[in-house]
Amino acid sequence: MDTDSINRNEADVSVTIGGLHLENPFILASAPPTSDGNFIRKAFQMGWGGAVIKTIKPDEMEISDVSPRFGVLKDKQGQNIGFENFELVSKKNCDYWVEEIRAIKKEYPAKVLIASIMADVSLKSWKNLAFKMERAGADALELNFSCPHGMPEKGIGSAIGQSAEIAAMITKWVKEAVNLPVIVKLTPNVTDIAAIARQVAAAGADAIAAINTVQCLMGVDLDTLSPLPAVNGYSTYGGYSGYAVKPVGLRCVAQIANAVELPVYGIGGVGTWQDAIEYIAVGASAVQICTAAMLEGFQIIQPMLAGLKSYMQEKEIKKLADICGIAAKKMTSHTNLSREYAAKAFLANPAECTFCRKCLVACNESAYGAIQARGRQIQIDESKCDGCSLCSLVCPKQVIKMKAPYYRQGQELRNIV
Ligand X SMILES: Cc1cc2nc3c(=O)[nH]c(=O)nc-3n(C[C@H](O)[C@H](O)[C@H](O)COP(=O)(O)O)c2cc1C
Marked catalytic residue, from 147, 385, 391, 395: 147
Q: What is the smallest separation between the CB atom of 42 and ligand X, expressed in angstroms? A: 18
Question: Which residue from 357, 379, 408, 414 is in contact with ligand SF4, where contact means CB under 6 A?
Answer: 357
- Pick the stretch among 14-22, 26-34, 275-283, 356-364 that binds ligand X (CB under 6 A): 26-34
Q: Select 289 or 370, whichever has its Cβ closest to ligand SF4.
A: 370
The amino acid present at 144, given as its one-letter code, is N
| Contacts of residue 263, Cβ cutoff 8 Å, sequence gap at least 6 | 17, 18, 206, 207, 208, 285
**One symbol per residue from 305 to 344: x for binding ligand X (CB under 6 A), - otherwise; what is it?**
----------------------------------------
Q: Quick count: other Cβ atoms within 10 Å of Cβ 123?
A: 15
- Pick the stretch among 102-110, 223-231, 266-274, 404-412 that binds ligand X (CB under 6 A): 266-274
Sign of CA dihedral 105, 324, 289, 121: positive
Give the integer Cα–Cα distance in Å for 41 and 284: 25
First to last CA, the chain: 29
Give the integer Cα–Cα distance in Å for 183 and 49: 17
Number of residues that make up the chain: 417
Instruction: Write out the H or E segment, with its range, that includes residue 132.
Output: helix 123-136
- Pick the stretch among 126-134, 160-168, 250-258, 392-400 that binds ligand SF4 (CB under 6 A): 392-400
Question: Which residue from 125, 241, 255, 285 is in contact with ligand X, where contact means CB under 6 A?
Answer: 241
Q: Select 85 or 163, whichever has its Cβ closest to ligand X.
A: 85
Q: Select 302 or 398, whichever has its Cβ closest to ligand SF4.
A: 398
Please name which of 401, 405, 361, 364 lies closest in space to residue 384, comparing C-alpha atoms.
364
Helices (H) and strands (E) in the chain, counts: 14, 21
**One symbol per residue from 305 to 344: x for binding ligand SF4 (CB under 6 A), - otherwise; what is it?**
----------------------------------------
- Pick the stretch among 290-298, 373-381, 389-397, 400-408 that binds ligand X (CB under 6 A): 290-298
Question: Which residue from 125, 189, 212, 255 is in contact with ligand X, where contact means CB under 6 A?
Answer: 212
Give the integer Cα–Cα distance in Å for 123 and 319: 40
378 near ligand SF4, rule: CB under 6 A: yes
- Pick the stretch among 18-26, 45-53, 196-204, 397-405 that binds ligand SF4 (CB under 6 A): 397-405
Q: Quick count: other Cβ atoms within 10 Å of Cβ 303?
A: 13
Q: Select 160 or 257, whichever has its Cβ closest to ligand X.
A: 160
Compute CA distances 164 → 142, 152, 169, 198, 380, whole Å: 17, 15, 8, 9, 52
Answer for the pair 254, 330: CB distance below 8 angstroms, yes or no.
Answer: no
120 near ligand SF4, rule: CB under 6 A: no
Q: What is the smallest separation between the CB atom of 372 and ligand SF4, expressed in angstroms? A: 10
The site partner of 353 among ligand SF4, ligand X, none (C-beta below 5 to 8 Å per kind) is ligand SF4
| Contacts of residue 113, Cβ cutoff 8 Å, sequence gap at least 6 | 40, 50, 51, 53, 101, 104, 105, 137, 138, 139
- Interaction residues for ligand X, span 126-145 (CB under 6 A): 144
- Interaction residues for ligand SF4, span 54-83 (CB under 6 A): none
Q: Quick count: other Cβ atoms within 10 Å of Cβ 404?
A: 15
- Interaction residues for ligand X, span 291-310 (CB under 6 A): 291-292
390 near ligand SF4, rule: CB under 6 A: yes
290 given a catalytic annotation = no
- Pick the stretch among 49-57, 153-161, 177-185, 352-360 that binds ligand SF4 (CB under 6 A): 352-360
Q: Quick count: other Cβ atoms within 10 Å of Cβ 399?
A: 21
- Interaction residues for ligand X, span 30-49 (CB under 6 A): 30-32
DSSP state of 300: G
Give the integer Cα–Cα distance in Å for 4 and 265: 32
Q: What is the smallest separation between the CB atom of 30 and ligand X, expressed in angstroms? A: 4
| Contacts of residue 132, Cβ cutoff 8 Å, sequence gap at least 6 | 94, 98
Q: Residues interacting with ligand SF4, by CB under 6 A?
A: 345, 353-359, 362-363, 367-368, 370-371, 378, 380, 385-391, 394-395, 397, 399-400
Q: Binding residues for ligand X, per CB under 6 A?
A: 29-32, 54-55, 83, 85, 87, 89, 116, 144, 147, 185, 212-213, 241-242, 245, 267-270, 289-292
Residues belonging to the active site:
147
